[in-house]
Structure 1
Amino acid sequence: MPNPLALSLETARRLAVTCQHLAGPRPGGGVEGLRQVLRTLRCLQLDPINVVARSHLLVLWSRLGTYDPADLDTLLWKDRWLFEYWAHAASIVLAEDYPIHQVMMRGYPRGESAYAQRVRDWLAANDELRRHVLDRLRAAGPLPPGAFDDRVSVAWQSSGWTNGRGVERMLDFLWLQGHIVVAGRAGRTRHWDLAERRLPEWASATPLPRREAVSLAAEHALRALGVARAADVERHFIRDRYPGLAEILRELESSGRVVPAEVEGGPERWYVHRDALGLLERDWQPRTTLLSPFDNLICDRARTERLWGFEFRTEMYVPKAKRRYGYYIMPILHGERLVGRLVPRLDRRRGVLEIEGLFPEPGFPGDESSAGAVGEAVAGLAAFAGAREVSYADTVPAPWRPGPRPRELSAIMRD
């Protein structure tokens, strides 16, 4: 076996950032640029919060700069190159990865946990509703949830928003089982159809053996992460669905598809996919951007702390008086470092991106160069979100406040 690669923290960070398309030349615009980014990321987490823009749109903006969200809709609803399914959360995923996700579909709800048994019992008790949903979709799909009769025999009970929502629960479970897919959206309302009618013909329906699917998913995760431990792979892409991962990583290492590594700061075993090794030889081309709270680079909070020393928590559900930073926090990526937190809010009525707070990390200098780079990123975000100007609260430290002037936003949008 070769000796492990010895990576400094700086090198490990640069590899991670470059693999995520957050450094180096930006991918080209349009549909092909989206395909390039999505083939690396493999999933975009969906989240309903829309303080500035939806999270999945921001993840793409951080990598592409200004792009047309209609191109993403084309890939989703027209080309069907993408579809919605559960990855590490409800996500947009690639149709070519259907065989990986089909492993979960075949077994859902698998296991002997109390929740899995509860779902199985509820589905059995509500078989009439299940048949009604599938018959209605076969006859008239795609349809929104309101198009189905509430033929629930046993109500779904929970302490959250799903309590008593039998039709919505049945749709979700049929989706997780792979019988139906989201065929379109009207605002936040999902329209459903039969999977057999919506998935593209080229998407393989031939089941993969579970072990082969796990191996394929692990390679996707490693390519996206750049450098990762087994636990990092476990928490990425198809989170917690990597049975036998330790042995699979050993096999990938023996075949030369992954290379072991040591990262400064600890004795853990890390891995780098062989497809990423060439990036270690490339010239470093840093960028400055802002990240969605659910960005793929930082969605694993433990890995974020280990590689960047950046403790990141969302505060959306923290009482206002107890928040340390603010409601909606976007980490600031400057080169290979996470250098601070931005708290933005889009006033859509006035067309203003309000910066309610900016909190540099200790030791990060607010010099003219770095402040200017962050200001350009803020202006780019404003342009993407459709704001006509940016305003900074008085609480924002003076070196960070100016940024590009509002009159520059149209020029940034053109870029």
Structure 2
Amino acid sequence: MPNPLALSLETARRLAVTCQHLAGPRPGGDVDGLRQVLRTLRCLQLDPINVVARSHLLVLWSRVGAYDPAGLDALLWKERWLFEYWAHAASIVLAEDYPIHHVMMRGYPRGESTYAQRVRDWLTANDELRQHVLDRLREAGPLPPGAFEGRVSVAWQSTGWTNGRGVERMLDFLWFQGQIMVAGRAGRTRQWDLAERWLPTWASGAAPLPRREAVSLAAEHALRALGVARAADIERHFIRDRYPGLAEILQELEHSGHVVPAEVEGGPERWYVHRDALGLLDQDWQPRTTLLSPFDNLICDRARTVRLWGFEFRTEMYVPKHKRQYGYYIMPILHGERLVGRLVPRLDRRRGVLEIEGVFPEPGFPGDEASVRAIGAAIAELAAFAGAREVSYADTVSAPWRSSPRSRELPTIAPN
């Protein structure tokens, strides 16, 4: 076996950022460029928060710059090259990955945990509701949740928003099982249809993958997206917590030459690099500056974010206002290979203004004019993408940031 690659923290960060399409030449903002990014990321987390724009739109913007979200809609709703399913969270995923996700579908709810047994019992008790949903969709789908009768025999009980929402729970569980799919959206309301009617035949007709083969394929996808990762990082990426036998699979991938072991400055852990990414280590470094969604794929694993970047990040949306350290909606600032600070933006759609409530550089950020201008330009690009005509800065934001470029210098493409 060859000796592990020895990577400095800087090199590991650069590899991670480049593999995420956050450095180097930007992919185009057309449909082909979106496909290129999506084939690397494999999933876009969905989140209802819309302070500036929806998270999945921002993840693509950070990588391609200005683009028309209608292209993403075409891939999702017209070509059905994408579909909505559960990856590391509710996400947009690739139809070509259906065999990977089908492993979860055909086993849900798998396991002997208390929750899995509870779901199985609830589904058995509410079989009339299950059949009603499937019959209604077969007759008249696609349909919104309000189109189904609440034929609930045993109420769903929880301490959260799902308490007593029997129809919504049944729709979710049938979705997890792959029996139904999201076939469209009216605002935030999902339209449901039978999976057999929605999925393209080239995806649904693929031969089922053995579980071990699916895990191996998913692990390779995760590692290509991460650039450099430990087994625990892979476990928490893409199809989070659905990698049984990962340690043995990584050994097999290493033996076959698909992955290469590595050591990263700062600790003795075993890391891996996919062979497809090795050529990037010899390429010239082409840094960019951008802003990241709080749910961006680069930082969705908080532990890895701390290990590689020394960047402690958490959202404060559910923190009481008087206890927030930064603000309600926080976007990390990526400058080159470093996470150099946090931005707190808010879009005033009525006035067409992107309001910057705070800019919080990390300790050690030099604050030189070139860096400040690069970050200011990224803020202006964000404003243009979000449909703002102007950027305004709160009085508490220091003068160097307030003098950075304004969004009126850039074209405007407003997200949906």
TM-score by length of 1: 0.98
Is the counterpart of residue 54 in structure 1 residue 48 in structure 2? Answer: no
User: In structure 1, the residue corresponding to 2:295 is in which secondary structure?
Assistant: coil
- Identify the residue that residue 40 of structure 1 maps to in structure 2: 40
Question: In the alignment, what sits opposite 2:26?
Answer: 26
Moved over 6 A (4+): none
Measure how far apart 1:405 and its partner are: 2.8
- Secondary structure at 2:410's aligned position in 1? helix
- Residue deviations 1:342-386, cap 9 Å, x none? 000000010000000000001101111000000000000000000
Q: Distance in 1 between matches of 2:366 and 2:359?
A: 13
Shift of 1:163: 0.8
Determine the structure 2 residue equivalent to 1:384.
385
1:81-116 deviation line (CA, Å, top 9, x unaligned): 000000000000000000000000011001111111
5+ long unaligned stretches in structure 2: none
Structure 1 counterpart SS, 2:201: coil
Deviates more, 1:361-370 or 1:227-236: 361-370
Match status 1:180 vs 2:175: no
**Rounded Cα–Cα distance in structure 2 between residues aligned with 1:274 and 1:363:** 34
Q: Secondary structure at the match of 1:268?
A: coil
Counterparts of 1:406 and 1:175 in 2: how far apart (Å)? Answer: 41
Code of the residue aligned with 1:163 in structure 2: it is N
Q: How many residues align?
A: 413
Q: Separation in 1 of the partners of 2:332 and 2:300?
A: 12
Q: Which residue of 2 aligns with 1:279?
A: 280
Secondary structure of 2:229 counterpart: coil
In structure 2, what is the Cα distance between the partners aligned to 1:116 and 1:412? 44
Match status 1:129 vs 2:129:
yes
Match of 1:5 in 2: 5
SS at structure 2 position matched to 1:333: strand
Distance 1:213 1:363 in 2: 43
Out of 90-99 and 202-211, give the one that drifted further. Answer: 202-211
* Unaligned residue ranges in structure 1 (runs of 5+): none
Matched, 1:71 2:96: no
Do the aligned residues in 2 keep the contact of 1:366 with 1:400 (CA within 8 Å)? Answer: no
Note the 1:282-301 alignment, pairs <5 A.
282-301=283-302
Deviation at 1:280, TM superposition (A): 0.5
Contact 1:45 1:90 in 2 (8 A): yes
Which residue is 1:318 aligned to? 319
Relative to structure 1, is the Cα distance of residues 85 and 412 closer, same or farther in structure 2, using a 3 angstrom cutoff? closer
Shift of 1:406: 4.5
Secondary structure at 2:360 match in 1? strand
Q: Structure 2: how far apart are the matches of 1:286 and 1:60?
A: 17
Q: Please list the CA deviations of residues 201-245 of structure 1 after superposition, one character each: whole Å capped at 9, or x if unmatched.
A: 111442100000000000000000000000000000000000000
Whole-angstrom distance in 2 between the partners of 1:254 and 1:156: 48
Aligned to 1:253: 254
Distance in 1 (CA, whole Å) between partners of 2:395 and 2:227 is: 39
Counterpart-to-counterpart distance in 2, 1:159 and 1:57:
31
User: What TM-score, normalized to structure 2?
Assistant: 0.98
Q: Secondary structure at the match of 1:133?
A: helix
* Structure 1 residue identity aligned to 2:119: V
Q: Distance in 1 between matches of 2:291 and 2:377?
A: 10
Q: How far apart in 1 are the matches of 2:360 and 2:398?
A: 8
Q: Post-superposition shift, 1:409?
A: 3.4
Contact 2:388 2:412 in 1 (8 A): no
- Structure 1 match to 2:235: 234
> What secondary structure sits across from 1:152 in the alignment?
coil
Distance, in Å, in 2 between the alignment partners of 1:34 and 1:112 is 40
Q: Map 1:320-399; keep pairs closer than 5 Å.
A: 320-399=321-400
- Check conservation: 1:389, 1:409, Cα contact below 8 A: no
Question: How far apart are 1:402 and its partner, in Å?
Answer: 1.6
With 23-32 and 238-247 compared, the bigger mean Cα shift is at: 23-32
Q: Give, in whole Å, the separation in 2 of the partners of 1:412 and 1:141.
A: 33
Contact 2:384 2:407 in 1 (8 A): no
User: Residues 87 and 237 of structure 1 are in contact (CA less than 8 Å); yes or no, is this contact kept in structure 2?
Assistant: yes
* Secondary structure of the structure 1 residue equivalent to 2:298: coil
**What residue is the counterpart of 1:210 in the other structure?**
211
Whether 2:108 is the aligned partner of 1:118: answer no
Structure 2 residue aligned with 1:199 = 199
The answer (yes or no) to whether the contact 2:103–2:214 under 8 Å persists in 1 is: yes
- Displacement, 1:411? 8.0
Q: Secondary structure of the residue that 2:311 maps to in structure 1?
A: coil
Contact 2:384 2:412 in 1 (8 A): no
